[in-house]
Amino acid sequence: MSKEELLRASPYKKLAFPSHIFSWYLIFLMGIASMLLISGTLANSKSRKDCGIDFCLCVLRICSCCRAGRTKS
């Protein structure tokens, strides 16, 4: 696209490319954030004997560690 075509282009066309790049950037960041969240959750679950869930939830057997018998002491 030449400079003249860019100057004559509609505002929607001028915003199309930056918004496309920004959307791919957000997808990339969401992927990294999801991987960090999953790896942190897995590391946290391996480092504790219990899950740290309060007693009221363990009485209802809502969390998986309570069903496995690892209740908070």
- Quickly tell me which residue has 């999953």 as its tokens: 38
Give the three-class secondary structure for 49. coil
What is the structure's pLDDT at 73? 47
DSSP state of 66: H
Q: How high is the mean pLDDT of the chain?
A: 75
Pick the more confident residue, 21 or 56: 21
pLDDT of 69 above 60: no
What percentage of the chain carries pLDDT values higher than 70? 59
Give the three-class secondary structure for 58. helix
pLDDT of 56 above 60: no
